[in-house]
Amino acid sequence: MKRWVLLAALLASGWGGAVSTCVYSGGQSLCFDLSNPVDLRLYREYVQRRVEAATPKAGIFDGPMATPQTVTAPDLPYPDPSNLTAFRVDRALDGVTLLGNMSFVPTRVRLAGIEILPGAEAEAAKVMKAFASPGTGVSLELTGRYENGVRTAYVWQLGTLMNLLLVERGLAKPSESGTQYVGELDVAAAFSSQAGTGMNKPK
């Protein structure tokens, strides 16, 4: 089931009340009220246009660790440095959890807004270990939320949002609505479904 179909069903059942989702277009934020049927339709159309416009560079999906870049979010602005926290990776525990040092304090951080797809655990862990190897410096956009006692964050490495990369490559899916970058994650999930990347490859 496509992400927006599931979202529409949840909204129809009264889940969560009004949900506002924002995406980035031409360096500006564009927001939709998904409890409004007109906005929901426009959002679906926007996602589909973004998916159709995404053109992967040659070789980018030849392997899960080919290149640390995304193809669905070329206009995604890098956050204001004042909103980022430096983090030195000691090791990737799995596909979504990093152990490292933040402000001289040993800390575990979980990638926000996503969950690994069933069967993709090993590949997701390989990607994280390749792009966030021991000693790597990454930037955290902390959400202020915790999951099972672990801080959650959007993780930037070499200008790439790792949360988004895992979804685009078909190794993870969006797990939240109405939060930061959920629009970009929806586009990445729809792209992966249509392009057949990762776990979305045709059987």
Distances (CA, A) of 129 to 43, 91, 182: 34, 7, 24
Two tokens, residue 101: 């040092």
Q: Are residues 45 and 53 in contact, defined by beta-carbon separation less than 8 angstroms? A: no
Q: Is the pLDDT of residue 112 over 50?
A: yes
Average pLDDT, the chain: 84
Mean pLDDT within 82-95: 95
Q: Is the pLDDT of residue 66 over 70?
A: no
Q: Is the pLDDT of residue 9 over 60?
A: no
- Which pLDDT does position 101 carry in this prediction? 96
C-alpha Rg value of the chain to the nearest Å:
16
Distance between CA 182 and CA 101 in Å, rounded? 27
Confidence of residue 187 (pLDDT cuts 50, 70, 90): very high
Confidence of residue 115 (pLDDT cuts 50, 70, 90): very high
Confidence of residue 171 (pLDDT cuts 50, 70, 90): very high
Confidence of residue 188 (pLDDT cuts 50, 70, 90): very high
Mean pLDDT within 149-160: 92
Percent of the chain with pLDDT over 70: 82
